Amino acid sequence: MTTAGRLIAVVLFDGVDLLDVTGPPEVFSLARRETDEAAGYEVVLAAETLDPVTTAAGVRVLPDTTFDALAARRPDTLVVPGAVAADGRGGVRPLTDPAVVTRVRQLAGLSRRVASVCVGAHILAAAGLLDGKRATTHWSTAQRLAADHPDVEVDPDPIFIRQGDVWTGAGISACLDLSLALIADDLGEAVALRVARQLVMYLKRPGGQSQFSVPLEQVATTRRVEDLRHHIMRRVAEPLTVADLAAHLHVSDRQLTRIFKTELGTTPHAYVESVRVEAARQALESTDDTLERVASACGFGSVDTLVRAFRRRLDTTPTEYRRRFRTRAGV
């Protein structure tokens, strides 16, 4: 199939999350520009009728085509965004309109592949498209997805998951990573990386990366813990033992462990390792440093320790990560 034949259809319905709808088209439009294709991807917004659709943000969106007309064209990729409503208990519940579910099931059967954005995974699950498959969704509704659909293996950690011709993405911003992965699958990693640079975003995060990377973790609840986090990042190459960190805060080792558990939800060792992995990723993306130098500069001590940490946290190796995601021009 040529790029001119890649019709990307985004499903529209009342109450849909606006960024779920607008994120993927922006990414695919940049791919067309980066490949200097006059045609390239064609993105359309499809709804039951051509009447304006009101999104959760209150912004009205005009569909390009109807579901019936789209079915006749047999889209290459069907993108299914999500929608939520307050559950009355301070949380949210995913919305799965039976009429939308029926349409998605019908259109999925006519498409080469299907991708859900954020809580759109609940619509795919309701349509039976995730049965027997591993899938992800936004962390806030993952437990609900698993409870409602026991035939689906729900993994709330990755930013996206591919299972054959079905892709599921996590939070709203992860729709960009998911779209980049779809482009890489079609046009290769080099094009996806060029698009990522245009988006000025983290360059094509691997699907196995956690929804909870170190820079995005919750803000510490006390100033002293925030200071400790910055202390760790500034001294990532140093030993950073529990005793060292406790001394920095002027507390006992046991009290330090309690502070990490209470305010950051993890242990000192796990947190320090996560910071080191983040630092190593940046080095692998942007430098020609050897693995030995990266391991030393990021506090791992040895390449073996670096490799084990990457396998544990990213489900890949430093070498494979660099091959796929390094950003230096000409590499």
**How does pLDDT run across 169-206, given as a tens digit for each residue?**
987 777 888 898 899 888 887 788 788 877 755 444 54
Location of each CATH 1.10.10.60 domain in the chain: 214-325
Closest listed residue to residue 245, CA positions, set 281, 212, 275, 214: 275
Q: What is the pLDDT of residue 328?
A: 47
How long is the chain?
A: 331
Sequence-separated (6 or more) residues with CB below 8 Å from residue 160: 136, 167, 168, 169, 170, 174, 177, 178, 181, 207
Superfamily of chain region 3-199: Class I glutamine amidotransferase (GATase) domain (3.40.50.880)
Identify the DSSP state of 238: S
C-alpha 274/C-alpha 301 separation (Å) is: 15
CA torsion through residues 265, 269, 271, 273, sign: negative
Does 118 participate in catalysis according to the annotation? yes
By mean pLDDT, which of 8-12, 155-159, 198-202, 290-294 is the weakest? Answer: 198-202
C-alpha 229/C-alpha 300 separation (Å) is: 18
Q: What is the pLDDT of residue 218?
A: 42
Check: CB of residue 291 under 8 Å from CB of residue 318.
yes
Q: What is the mean pLDDT of the chain?
A: 86
Name the CATH code of domain 214-325 (choices 1.10.10.60, 3.20.20.70, 1.10.540.10, 1.10.10.10).
1.10.10.60
Q: Which of 11, 107, 118, 259 is catalytic?
A: 118
Q: Quickly state the pLDDT bin for 282 (edges 50, 70, 90).
A: confident
Closest listed residue to residue 183, CA positions, set 72, 282, 79: 79
Q: Beta 113-116 vs 77-80: how paired, if at all? A: parallel
Location of each CATH 3.40.50.880 domain in the chain: 3-199
Q: What is the pLDDT of residue 153?
A: 93
Closest listed residue to residue 148, CA positions, set 125, 167, 165, 169: 125
Closest listed residue to residue 141, CA positions, set 119, 171, 160, 115: 119
Q: Quickly state the pLDDT bin for 320 (edges 50, 70, 90).
A: confident
More reliable by pLDDT, 250 or 191: 250
Q: Which two tokens stand for residue 329?
A: 């021009």
Closest listed residue to residue 239, CA positions, set 281, 288, 298, 306: 298
pLDDT digits over 97-125, tens only?
999 999 999 999 999 999 999 999 999 99
By mean pLDDT, which of 16-25, 144-153, 247-256, 276-285 is the weakest? Answer: 276-285
pTM of the model: 0.65
C-alpha 282/C-alpha 82 separation (Å) is: 32
More reliable by pLDDT, 127 or 284: 127
Quickly list H helices, 83-218.
Answer: 98-108, 120-126, 142-148, 174-187, 189-199
b/e map of 145-156 (b: 16 or more CB within 10 Å)? Answer: bbeebeebebbb
